[in-house]
Amino acid sequence: MYADLREKVAVVTGGSKGLGSAIAIRFGCEGMSIVVNYHTDEGGAQNAVRAIRDAGGRACAVQADIGSEDGVRRLRDAAASEYGRLDVWVNNAGMENRSPTDKLALEDWNQVINTNLTGVFLGSKCALEHFVENDKPGCIINMSSVHEKIPWPTFAHYAASKGGVELFTKTIALEYADRGIRANCIGPGAINTPINKEKFADPEQYDTTVSMIPMGRIGEPEDVASAAAWLASEEARYVTGITLFVDGGMALYPSFQYGNG
């Protein structure tokens, strides 16, 4: 538990399932107030809201497409009207789809870039406006991936979006450091969420993925939520511009693990 979080207010995008839901619920366990964003799955967001209230936090579910400026503003307005402040903004919402790059439709490229990269820009801009206008410190957490640094054939648009998130985040970290605004990425490896449901249901693909993780297990959403809580808290007050990998060592060139090469 991080005592300073108790009075804080957060926006978590893509909070209806997976990592966003786990982060929102963890924040709720810290006693925070949370705007839980959802795109289409209102039921999922309401489940998260209930879990947060049961844990002692306050929460509301707000629909918004984070790829639109109106959408992210709606989230900020909800934080202000419901809870009267904003301290932490988690740009978690994201998507992926597979395609060989020579067959990658422009429409698919645009959709992934718009959600994963433009959505992070719009959410960060919205939070920054609030922090600057109110002359207050704040914390932005952007969900990147091990694929901000590891190339991922047939997911070129996804890797491009996450590489973009990394340098965007480092840039705003530098740009706003003297105002007490921190911006960091979390870089998950392979985590057990709906995005991986089909892949992990196939025993062969599951085993292949585990074999790429030096710690020998798929991550759980709570592993990522713990990192988010720490980054949001005062315990991380001197940390800005990093990517905190939560990946069981996946980004450490696992093929070298036993001295190969």
- Residues in the interface with ligand NAI (CB under 6 A) total 27
CA distance 14 to 114: 14
Report CA 60 to chain centroid distance, whole Å.
Answer: 18
Q: Quick check: 76 binds ligand NAI (CB under 6 A)? A: no
Give the whole-angstrom CA distance, residue 121 versus residue 102: 27
Which residue, 31 or 116, is less far from ligand NAI as judged by CB?
Answer: 116
Q: Which of 32, 33, 2, 35 is nearest to 16 (CA)?
A: 35
Among 23, 32, 66, 86, which residue interacts with ligand NAI (rule: CB under 6 A)? 66
Catalytic-residue membership of 253: no
Residues 107-126 that bind ligand NAI (CB under 6 A): 115
Residue closer to ligand NAI (CB basis): 33 or 116: 116
Residue 169 binds ligand NAI (CB under 6 A):
no
Closer residue to ligand NAI, CB minimum distance, 31 or 161:
161
Would you count residue 49 as binding ligand NAI (CB under 6 A)?
no
Minimum CB separation of residue 70 from ligand NAI in Å reads 12
Q: How far apart are CA 120 and CA 143, in angstroms?
A: 8
Single residue of 5, 20, 76, 83 touching ligand NAI by CB under 6 A: 20
Closer residue to ligand NAI, CB minimum distance, 13 or 243: 13
User: What string of DSSP letters covers 109-142?
Assistant: HHHHHIIIIIHHHHHHHHHHHHHHHTT--EEEEE
With respect to ligand NAI, which residue has the nearer C-beta, 181 or 190?
190
C-alpha distances in angstroms, 23 versus 9, 99, 116, 221? Answer: 13, 29, 18, 8
2-18 burial string, b = 16+ CB within 10 Å, else e? Answer: beebeebbbbbbbbbbb
31 binds ligand NAI (CB under 6 A): no
Residue tagged active-site, from 2, 158, 176, 238: 158
Contacting ligand NAI within 202-241 (CB under 6 A): none
Task: Quickly count helices (H) and strands (E) in the chain.
Answer: 9, 7
**Residues making contact with ligand NAI (CB under 6 A):** 13-14, 16-20, 37, 39, 41, 65-67, 92-95, 115, 143, 145, 188, 190-191, 193-196
Q: Which residues are catalytic?
A: 158
